[in-house]
Amino acid sequence: MSTSKNFADKVVLITGSSGGIGAVTAVEFARYGAQVVITGRNADNLSEVAKQCAAVSPKGLKPLEVLADVSKDVDCKRLIDSTISAFKRLDILVNNAGKGVFSSITDPSVLDKYGEVMDTNLRSVVYLTHLSVEHLEKTKGNIINISSVAGLKPFGRAFLYCMSKCALDMFTKCLALELGPKGIRVNVINPAAVRTNFLQVVGLTKEQSEARYSEMDGKYPVGRVGESIDIANAILFLASDEASFVTGINFVSDGGALNAPL
């Protein structure tokens, strides 16, 4: 096992791990020996991911499953408390839970949408980080935030999502400054389109979502959109000791999309 992928004895908490990028990331951490804590709002999906993690874990470690809505402060607190109560430590926090939203500035429900997306994509990260620092300082751990290329460039009707991710990027850079002296690294990954349920949650049908990804496949310089494993691989690298000199960076994983004339 290479050093970059040895997470034996590490406790890794991945939010939004009942599906998509978070689920695949949890399975990868489990494959390389970590004790994973998985969380989301859908209990059935969470159990399914837990089975997949246990199946690949070298020691058959069972994940801790915590049903939680990260937009609720009490759930965030319970998530960290449950993790520490079960394992007495936290090594890696992956703030991955997030959602997209389309809105025009003239939309009558713009402030409701603002609250929803900011509470899920940003406030949760601020609070979970706040709660985690004392534990990560003990383990000299690290934090990976999952942003988007939408934090780096504007997209039509997506200003709320873009703002949430742009703020997450800046939060990461500021926290890298504050937490570096405590021995905690903080990095952010900016993916372009990744084939998950993301577009269906935004409101597209399965067929529309698949059509959108197929259309983008041809436009991306590498000839395809991302898969969850692409982002999981980046997360595992940044979380590993081989990235011990890396903090406060935007790691763009986008198949070249950000620089392409799409």
Q: Given the rule CB under 6 A, which residues bind ligand NDP? A: 16-22, 40-42, 45, 68-71, 96-99, 120, 146, 148, 191, 193-194, 196-198, 201
Residue 195 carries which side chain, given as an amino acid letter?
R
User: Closest CB to ligand NDP among 154 and 180?
Assistant: 154
Phi, psi of 253 (to 5 degrees): -120, 95
- Please, what is the minimum distance in Å from the beta carbon of residue 98 to ligand NDP? 2
CA–CA dist 250, 188 (Å, integer): 5
Looking at residue 158, the DSSP 8-state letter turns out to be -
**Burial group, residue 223, by CB count within 10 angstroms (0-12, 13-18, 19+):** exposed
CA–CA dist 114, 124 (Å, integer): 14
Q: Which of these is catalytic: 32, 161, 213, 220?
A: 161
Q: Enumerate residues 6+ apart whose C-beta is below 8 A from 39.
A: 13, 14, 15, 16, 17, 18, 46, 65, 66, 67, 68, 70, 79, 97
CA–CA dist 63, 12 (Å, integer): 10
Task: Kindly state the tokens that stand for 39.
Answer: 């969380």
User: Closest CB to ligand NDP among 42 and 244?
Assistant: 42
Q: Is 161 a catalytic residue?
A: yes
CA–CA dist 120, 21 (Å, integer): 16
User: Closest CB to ligand NDP among 18 and 132?
Assistant: 18
User: Closest CB to ligand NDP among 167 and 201?
Assistant: 201
- Please, what is the minimum distance in Å from the beta carbon of residue 254 to ligand NDP? 9
- Please, what is the minimum distance in Å from the beta carbon of residue 2 to ligand NDP? 26
- Please, what is the minimum distance in Å from the beta carbon of residue 63 to ligand NDP? 13
Show which residues are catalytic: 161
